[in-house]
Chain A
Amino acid sequence: MSSGTASAQLRRRAALARLEAEELADAVSELRTISGSKSELEHALERVEVLSARVQKALDLPGGLSVAQAAERLEVSEPTVRKWLAEGLLERVEDHKPVEIAQRSVIDVERVLDTVRESYPARRWSEALAAFLHDRDLLGQEWAREGVEQLRRGELVER
């Protein structure tokens, strides 16, 4: 095995590990929303958060996933991954050839794929994903976030 091949394999494994680390961070964030948590749980969560941050820092390498890796993870074909890349549903790592895909974008798509698969036929998956990403961006706009916060605080005025 050449050193170039070994290096490429190491980068692939590191890219996958970074994906797992990002998912771990998401899981911890979700645990934070559990009500009535005890101090022990808080302590455990803090430790997991520290570990998660360390893993992410250690794996803060510039590499993304290959098209094959993303396809396997998302359980779609490689042409579908390339199609979603071209449509902007998946984010490509800049200046990397062959094409590499940002782990965060794979997680974002993976999160909604289950719902999309249940609700739409395969020919409409791209359309549904695009709608989801659009809506996520819309609700993430500063003015929308401000409105949601005011709503939660009950700050409303009669029209």
Chain B
Amino acid sequence: MAAKDFALRATPAAAAVIERLRGTARKNYAAFEAELRKQGCRVAGYRLLGPEDGGYSDFCCRRLVDDWRAITTPACCGKGGWPSVGTVPGGRRG
């Protein structure tokens, strides 16, 4: 029996951006979403550090293309999860 896909939820803001994605960004996001449904958070990218003390935050980040990033929570494939999609000025070092 095939494993059941993970459920995926988005914030309305992220959903609106996702609909407007074009070209490689749209293609890569679609692939990312498909990976999330199959494998859950193991493909969510790198764990973001928290803004307070530099410890791990509740969020992960996956680069889509150029400055486009998708942010997810560790619970992105469960209740309360979300992806947020947007662009950043520059790439992460290190």
Contact = CB atoms under 8 A, between A and B. Distances in A.
A154 B73 CA distance: 13
A136 B73 CA distance: 16
Contacts of B12: 150, 155, 157
Given A115-B54, A138-B69, A143-B85, A127 B11 contact: no
Interface string A128-159: 10111011111111011011101100111111
Contacts of A135: 48-51, 57, 61, 92
B10 A143 contact: no
Contacts of B57: 135, 139
B57 to A, nearest CB: 7
Contacts of A146: 11, 13, 84
A154 B80 CA distance: 7
Contacts, number: 103
B32 to A, nearest CB: 11
B44 to A, nearest CB: 14
A95 interface: no
Contact of B51 (A114, A139, A151): A139
A136 B51 CA distance: 5
A73 interface: no
B9 A156 contact: yes
Interface residues of A, number: 32
Nearest to B86: A143
B13 A131 contact: no
Interface in B8-57: 8-15, 17, 33, 48-55, 57
Nearest to A148: B84
Contacts of A113: 54
B93 interface: yes
A127 B94 contact: yes
B7 interface: yes
Closest 4 CB pairs of A and B: A147-B84, A112-B54, A143-B86, A115-B54
